[in-house]
């Protein structure tokens, strides 16, 4: 098959079920980071919005392990997607991808899913704040804008530990040429003397110097939890409205372990649209019970922060302890976060 031939009669990739993606190419971004180019075997179109992610699954000696990675590619391209993954010491899944996901290899994928990005936070002007691997959704935003001819007005500020760890560094200048209202600032927390960029921590004063009108912009932030906490405090102090701030985290380091106590009754969880149902033992969240039952729910942080798993509850009630991933008015309308909700009764979800 000629890879340059225009696909004919392509179906759309099903985001609500697991499928197989094939690795078309791998490229080095930094000494510890690779980008993987993936596409469906059957040529299906993958339709998504910049800022969305996919969940990937691999088998580790009979144990299925899942991880979420934000798509870094332009959403204008429906023939393939790209994920950018940093190899972490002891990182079971990231190391597996670096070692095993070579050209021609396949990997199971679910999604795209998630609500993070300019499609969810509409504004005329943005600030894109990222640190480390948190740069990936921002890359998707600016790449999509460039490919679609969107006049994106944004200040894109990215922090890395060292200049050699700046992901996609060579892509940023060409993107600024294509997007005249895009300004990019890269900051390294440590750097050799010959480096001409900014060195140090991104703090409130530096942020205000880089974006004097930050209080009038919408903020998209992605990175380690400490970074996002600092940035949120800084932008709120600068006058950014709560509804104009959004953040995304994929830090699985502190993910809660599922533990059924068995001290209380088991509740029945039913998905109204698909008709699927499963039991949720006492002590588990709905997301943990769904995972144990082998029923996928799109999720990312699993800590009630990102809102990815948000869905409408049409019957029952839950005890929900989230961390800002859902708004009071959404709760009032009946929405819950399954990752942070333990059922008090049998539950019916609009899924």
Q: Backbone phi, then psi, for 226, in 5-degree steps?
A: -60, -40
List CB contacts of 206: < 8 A, sequence separation 6 or more.
187, 198, 200
Residue 26 reports pLDDT greater than 50: yes
Residue 263 has pLDDT above 90, yes or no: no
SS3 state at 137? helix
Distance CA 17, CA 111 (A): 7
- Give the pairing of strands 126-131 and 63-70: unpaired
pLDDT digits (tens, 9 = 90+) for 272-294: 988 899 999 998 999 999 988 88
| Alpha-carbon span 182 to 185, nearest angstrom | 10
Query: In this structure, how many other beta carbons lie within 10 angstroms of the beta carbon of residue 9?
Result: 5
Whole-number pLDDT of residue 297: 81
Q: 186 and 174 in contact (C-beta within 8 Å)?
A: no
Residue recorded with tokens 């600024």 = 176
pLDDT at position 255 over 60: no
- pLDDT at res. 254: 42
Highest average pLDDT, of 36-50, 57-71, 300-314, comes from 36-50
Torsion angle of C-alpha atoms 139, 144, 145, 146, degrees rounded to 10: 90
Nearest to 134 by CA among 202, 57, 216: 202
The helix/strand/coil state of 133 is helix
The three-class DSSP label of residue 147 is: helix
Contact predicate 83/69, CB 8 Å: yes
* Residue 40, pLDDT above cutoff 50: yes
246 beta partners: 220
Query: CA 149, 52, 234 angle in degrees (round to 5)?
Result: 90
User: What is residue 252's predicted lDDT score, i.e. its pLDDT?
Assistant: 44
Cα angle: 339, vertex 21, 254; to 5 degrees = 30
Tell me the C-alpha distance between 290 and 216, whole Å: 41
Contact at 8 Å (CB) between 85 and 8?
no
DSSP-derived pairing of the beta strands 318-320 and 198-199: unpaired
**The model's pTM:** 0.78
Q: Would you state the pLDDT for residue 261?
A: 57
Residue with tokens 């932008």: 235
Residues listed for the chain: 351
Of 295 and 312, the one with more pLDDT: 312
* Residue that is written with structure tokens 């405090």 in the block: 233
Q: How far is CA 102 from CA 23, 25, 26, 36, 89, in A?
A: 6, 7, 7, 8, 20
Position 218 confidence tier, pLDDT thresholds 50, 70, 90? very high
Contact 44/109 with Cβ under 8 angstroms? no
Token output for 221: 């932030």
Coil/strand/helix, residue 96: helix
Q: Note whether 116 and 107 are within 8 A (CB).
A: no
């Amino acid at each position: 098959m000629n890879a340059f031939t225009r696909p004919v009669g392509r179906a759309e990739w099903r985001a609500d079920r697991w499928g197989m993606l094939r690795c078309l190419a791998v490229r080095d971004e930094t000494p510890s980071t690779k980008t993987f180019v993936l596409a469906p075997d059957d040529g299906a179109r993958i339709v998504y919005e910049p800022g969305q992610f996919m969940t990937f699954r691999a088998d580790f000696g009979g144990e299925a392990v899942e991880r979420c990675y934000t798509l870094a590619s332009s959403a204008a391209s429906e023939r393939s997607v790209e994920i950018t993954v940093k190899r972490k010491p002891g990182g079971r899944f990231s190391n597996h991808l670096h070692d095993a996901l070579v050209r021609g290899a396949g990997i199971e994928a679910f999604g795209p899913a998630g609500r993070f990005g300019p499609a969810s936070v509409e504004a005329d002007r943005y600030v894109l704040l990222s640190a480390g691997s948190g740069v990936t959704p921002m890359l998707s935003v600016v790449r999509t804008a460039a490919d679609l001819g969107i006049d994106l007005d944004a200040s894109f500020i990215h922090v890395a530990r060292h200049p050699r760890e700046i992901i996609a560094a060579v892509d940023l200048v060409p993107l600024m040429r294509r997007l005249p209202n895009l300004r990019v600032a890269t900051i390294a927390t440590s750097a050799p003397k010959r480096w001409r960029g900014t060195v140090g921590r991104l703090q409130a004063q530096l942020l205000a110097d880089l974006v004097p009108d930050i209080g009038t912009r919408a903020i998209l932030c992605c990175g380690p939890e400490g970074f996002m906490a600092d940035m949120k405090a800084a932008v709120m102090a600068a006058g950014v409205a709560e509804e104009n701030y959004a953040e995304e985290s994929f830090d699985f380091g502190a993910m809660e372990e599922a533990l059924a106590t068995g001290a209380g009754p088991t509740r029945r969880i039913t998905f109204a649209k698909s008709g699927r149902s499963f039991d949720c033992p006492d002590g588990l969240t709905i997301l943990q019970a769904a995972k144990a039952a082998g029923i996928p729910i799109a999720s990312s942080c699993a800590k009630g922060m990102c809102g990815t798993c948000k869905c409408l509850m049409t019957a029952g009630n839950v005890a929900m302890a989230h961390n800002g991933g859902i708004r009071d008015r959404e709760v009032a309308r009946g929405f819950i976060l399954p990752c942070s909700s333990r059922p008090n009764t049998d539950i019916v979800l609009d899924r």
